[in-house]
Structure 1
Amino acid sequence: MGRATDRRTVLRIDISDSGAGMRASVRRQDSLAAEEPLEIRAGVVGPGRRPPLAVTMRTPGHDLDLAIGFLLTEGLIRSAEDVVTAQLCAGAETPNTYNVVDVVLADDVPAPQVDPARNFYTTSSCGVCGKASIEAVRTRSRYDVAADPLTVPAAVLAALPDRLRAAQRGFDRTGGLHAAGLFTADGELVILREDVGRHNAVDKVIGWAARERRLPLRGQVLLVSGRASFELTQKAWMAGLPVLAAVSAPSTLAADLAEEAGVTLVGFLRGSTMNVYTAPARVTV
């Protein structure tokens, strides 16, 4: 199985003046975040291999969670009960070992249809960029998030970024991984996942929750280490999450979708300040 990090020899240059007026350069080992393609195949039980559905550039690790989370947040399955098996492929048929997940769907699950207008190739920087239109990605959730009665003190939210950062082991080694963390209303970290892609980190969290039979994620908070995009807001809605918080800015489409879904969207969560863009009644001062 691929590793989440790898070592490379780099030339480290320090242009600050030394005591002798010299500038230093030295070769040393550095850790990089791994980035490899993952192909997700999905279909019903039967002879032959299931058709490719998506390829995403991800950091290896928790790949089954990533695949299940992707299928769920794209509306292709409704719960883990829709999946018979999910396994990593290896062997002569798949020479790029462990970079393919094969998902067998239950008989009553509609077979995924690959629509050319809905390009499922995603990059580590943005999972929604390849999609042709907003209408193609606005997947309706089965959960009434707006009815979730959760309230969270602003002081609890303010403490979450430090707790997320303290748990980011991969980021400590590489400085190159995004994180998504699921928290209780009291600020307890439930699960954290890291990935070179923000959307992958979120799918890994939601896929874990689906496999653990925890959906919907009522009364909980999802914190992401970067910005809050339309796609991440959609994923939060599909998982039944009432609060999505980000240390950076949301987009206009993220705010529009959060308003429609009844998701509380918090941005610029830094230090003692934050902006609450939608459903502000859930954040108490």
Structure 2
Amino acid sequence: MPAMNASVFLPPTSYDYVTVHKVQGSAIAAASDVLAAEEPLEIRVGYGPAGQREHRTLSITMRTPGHDFELAAGFLLTEGLIASRQDLQGVLYCPDVAKEEERENVVRAELAPAAAPELPRLERHFYTSSSCGVCGKTSIAAVHAAACPVLPAEGPHVAAAVIHQLPERQRAAQALFEQTGGLHAAALFSPEGELLLLREDVGRHNALDKVIGAALLQEQLPLHHAVLLVSGRASFELVQKAVVAGIPVLAAVGAPSSLAVSAAQDFGMTLCGFVRQDRFNIYSHPWRITALTQS
């Protein structure tokens, strides 16, 4: 195991530069923006006595590159696969990954021979893959492979003034947030800004799943004429879930990740970030946002 390193330095792959359309009031202008990178990390595990070692993929988790060994070790501990440092022989970037550009997206944790992880009970919690190595492009390709359609190249068209109003309307409807101050929310709006449905949860992915599940039970899918607002940042998973539900416009109070922008562009989604204080950025397919003055 490498010596501990307390440095907070993150590699260049931890961020990305993109061109966005910055909106201030009713004016729009092209500008450069910095995104936190989001890439999948495949965590593999080796276990068993010497001479009978087995290796398998345990999980794929979306993360910002950097401190990957610490991430894998913490994951193993908090999920109960190891009980102490003595159970872990070491963590390394997997040497048997076919593509060089994917090598730093796959780590393997080698457990001590005496460690006996209960792997089957964890399968229901994690997305696992038999592929050797992953990257952003293959993650988006996996969504295509799951029969997730590209969104229609048509409406709705949403006025910039409506986007500006969504956070206040969402917050006003967040009863649980007012009590706890610690919940994420996902809300569906009409193109005119009418609140259609809102759910809260400690996890933003859970809040969105609740919204989509409610729409599914009410036989409202696909949501081709809805606008989604999420609290916090816009991650790849949120874009993926929204695309599956047919939502063409996703707005977030916080920043999107680089992979979220790539996925939104690929699937025809209009993705907006930093929706607050009478401004926001449009990261993909800006044609759905109207009443803008070009500059």
TM-score by structure 2 length?
A: 0.52
Instruction: Determine if contact 1:228/1:246 at 8 Å carries over to the other structure.
Output: yes
Distance 1:281 1:136, change over 3 A: closer
Q: Write the mapping of 1:38-187 to structure 2, written as runs, cut at 5 A.
A: 121=125, 133=134, 134=136, 135=138, 138-140=142-144, 141-187=147-193
What stretches of structure 1 of length at least 5 have no aligned partner?
1-115
Structure 1 position 219, deviation (Å)? 1.3
Aligned-partner SS, 1:241 = coil
Say yes or no: does 1:261 pair with 2:267: yes
Deviates more, 1:212-221 or 1:138-147: 138-147
Q: Which amino acid aligns with 1:139?
A: V
Q: Which has the higher contact order (CA 8 A, sep 6+)?
A: 2
Matches of 1:219 and 1:236, distance apart in 2 = 12
Matches of 2:154 and 2:226, distance apart in 1 = 10
Partner of 1:9: none
Distance 1:179 1:121, change over 3 A: same
Matches of 1:246 and 1:119, distance apart in 2 = 31
Distance 1:136 1:278, change over 3 A: closer
Say yes or no: does 1:202 pair with 2:208: yes
Q: Write the mapping of 1:238-253 to structure 2, written as runs, cut at 5 A.
A: 238-253=244-259
Instruction: Determine if contact 2:149/2:267 at 8 Å carries over to the other structure.
Output: no
Structure 1 position 144, deviation (Å)? 3.6
Q: Which amino acid aligns with 1:264?
A: T
Larger relative helix fraction:
2
Instruction: Determine if contact 1:244/1:263 at 8 Å carries over to the other structure.
Output: yes
TM-score by structure 1 length?
A: 0.54
Q: Which amino acid aligns with 2:143?
A: T
Q: Which amino acid aligns with 2:229?
A: L
Distance 1:257 1:136, change over 3 A: closer
Matches of 1:144 and 1:277, distance apart in 2 = 17
Distance 1:281 1:120, change over 3 A: farther
Off by >4 Å, runs of 4+ in structure 1: none
Instruction: Determine if contact 2:187/2:228 at 8 Å carries over to the other structure.
Output: yes
Aligned-partner SS, 1:265 = strand
Instruction: Determine if contact 1:146/1:261 at 8 Å carries over to the other structure.
Output: no
Matches of 2:158 and 2:210, distance apart in 1 = 24
Matches of 2:185 and 2:192, distance apart in 1 = 20
- The CA RMSD over aligned residues, in Å, is 2.8
Identical aligned residues as a percent: 52
Instruction: Determine if contact 1:249/1:268 at 8 Å carries over to the other structure.
Output: yes
Structure 1 position 174, deviation (Å)? 0.6
Instruction: Determine if contact 2:232/2:254 at 8 Å carries over to the other structure.
Output: yes
